[in-house]
Amino acid sequence: MPFKNIGGEKMQQIKKGWGRWVLIFLVLGYMGFLILAPITALVKGAFENGLMPVLRVITSPVFLQSLALSLKIAIIVVILQIFFGTSIAWVIVRQEFVGKPLLNGLIDIPFSISPVVVGYMLLMMFGRNGYLFPIMEKLGIKVAFAVPGMFLATLFVSLPFMIREMIPVIKNLDRKQEFAAQTLGASQWKVFWRVIFPQIKHGMIYGLTLTLARALGEFGAVLVIGGGVQGRTETTTLYIFRCLDERRYIEAYTASIFLGSFSVLIVFLADWFKRRQIRQHRNDNGFVG
């Protein structure tokens, strides 16, 4: 805290001492009530009958199968979003063209559109009466009530995360290095890998983990387009939903905790990476650009 060196600050701190603690406790209380209390309730519910049932759930084939499907969809989505997210962010930061504000607005659409509607849109395109159904039928690809449809739905809902994370990162790039490298005759490929990539990789990791977390947690859209068929289109969120329906609460709570902590863990890891970069470069950015 650099301002501590400035004279008079200490006086100030003491004077507003109580107000400061009131604020801190208000925020602690709010976050405790809003975020921590529900999480505690969930954990308590899952471990109601001890550790064994929980272990049994996370090693059960049905749960693992759903997790495998969730991961499979999420990972392909993440890979695509890395390429497209980064390149779209690059285009938005570095290029000027007609319709850029519109493009900028479009990117956030998936963020606010209801997942149910996303599933519904896909159903209208790929369902039996959908516009694209005949083409897909000819190609022999099943989209609705199959994994490809769920993949498209997840791709849609997770679209903004990578782009929004990369925009400030690319904005903050040090362009002098790029020019220097180019002047020295480095190929574009080399400039990218040697100069640009090292600067954006932490932002990329953070963006991809947010995308991964969002993809793993998707529920409404994959429910509508996938139908939640056991053993075929059942992701972990749909498995949780089914367990709730079948009164298998321990399984539902355990799977919820597992999925939640998995996502939290990867986001925290990425946060840690990002912090390291901030410490290195001192260039700061928030989550939404």
Partner 1 sequence: MKSFWKLTFLLTIIFSMAACSGGETSQTGDEIKLILGAYTTPREAYGEIIPLFQEYWHEKTGQQVVFEESYLGSGAQSRAVIDGFEADVVALSLEADVTRIQEAGLITHDWKASETGGIVTTSIVAFAVRSGNPENIQDWIDLTRSGVEILTPNPSTSGGAMWNVLGAYGAALRGQIDGVPADDPEAARTFLKQVLANVTVMDKAARDSILNFEKGIGDLAITYENEVLVGRQSGQDYELVIPSSTILIENPLAVVDASVDKHGTREVAEAFVEFLFTPQAQEVFSQHGLRVVNSDIAAATVDQYPIVEDLFTIENFGGWQSVMEDIFGESGVYTRAILEVQGGE
Partner 2 sequence: MESKLELPVLRRSSKGHGQGWLLRLPGILYLTLMIVVPLLVIIQDGLREGIAELIHQITLPIARHAILLTLWTSALMTIINAVMGLMTAFVLVRFEFPGKRVLNAIVDLPLAIPTLVTGVMLVMLYGPQETLGNFLANQIGFEVIFAPPGIVISLLFISFPFVVRNIQPVLQELDRTQELAASTLGAGSWKTFWKIVFPALILPLTSGSLMSFSRAIGEFGAVVIVAGNIPLKTQTAAVYTLGAVESENRLGASAVSLLLTSIAFLILITANAIQKYRGRKNAAD
Looking at residues 230 to 249 of the shown chain, list those that interact with partner 1 (rule: CB under 8 A). Answer: 230-232, 242, 244-247
Residue 51's binding partner out of partner 2, partner 1, none, with CB under 5 to 8 Å set by partner kind: none
219 binds partner 2 (CB under 8 A): yes
68 closest CA partner among 257, 204, 211, 259: 259
Restricting to residues 78-137, name those near partner 2 by CB under 8 A: 80, 83-84, 86-88, 90-91, 94-95, 97, 101, 103-125, 131
**Alpha-carbon dihedral of residues 64, 70, 74, 77, nearest 10 degrees?**
130
Residue 115's binding partner out of partner 2, partner 1, none, with CB under 5 to 8 Å set by partner kind: partner 2
Which residue in 39, 93, 108, 127 binds partner 1 (CB under 8 A)? Answer: 127
CA distances from 169 to 273, 278, 284, 287 (A): 14, 11, 9, 10
Please give the angle made by the CA atoms of 22, 24 and 27, to the nearest 5 degrees.
105
Residue tagged 């969120």 (tokens):
237
CB atoms within 10 A of CB 141: 13
125 binds partner 1 (CB under 8 A): no
Residue 148's binding partner out of partner 1, partner 2, none, with CB under 5 to 8 Å set by partner kind: none
250 binds partner 2 (CB under 8 A): no
Residue 246's binding partner out of partner 1, partner 2, none, with CB under 5 to 8 Å set by partner kind: partner 1
Restricting to residues 7-46, name those near partner 2 by CB under 8 A: 8-9, 12, 15-16, 19-20, 23-24, 26-28, 30-31, 34-39, 41-42, 44-45
How far apart CA 134 and CA 128 sit, in angstroms, is: 8
Nearer to partner 1, 227 or 260 (CB): 227
* CB-CB contact of 256 with 209 (8 Å): no
Nearer to partner 2, 188 or 280 (CB): 188
Residues 6+ apart with CB under 8 A from 116: 220, 221, 223, 224
**Alpha-carbon dihedral of residues 168, 271, 278, 183, nearest 10 degrees?**
-50
Q: At residue 17, what are phi and psi to the nearest 5 degrees?
A: -50, -50
Residues 6+ apart with CB under 8 A from 80: 155
Residue 245's binding partner out of partner 2, partner 1, none, with CB under 5 to 8 Å set by partner kind: partner 1
Q: How many residues line the site for partner 2 (CB under 8 A)?
A: 102
Nearer to partner 2, 150 or 155 (CB): 155
71 binds partner 1 (CB under 8 A): yes
Q: Kindly give the residue spans of alpha helices, DSSP state H, lying in 191-248.
A: 197-217, 220-226, 236-245
Which residue in 227, 260, 266, 283 binds partner 1 (CB under 8 A)? Answer: 227
**Contact positions toward partner 1, by CB under 8 A?**
68, 71-72, 75-76, 79, 123, 126-130, 133, 142, 144-145, 201, 227-232, 242, 244-247
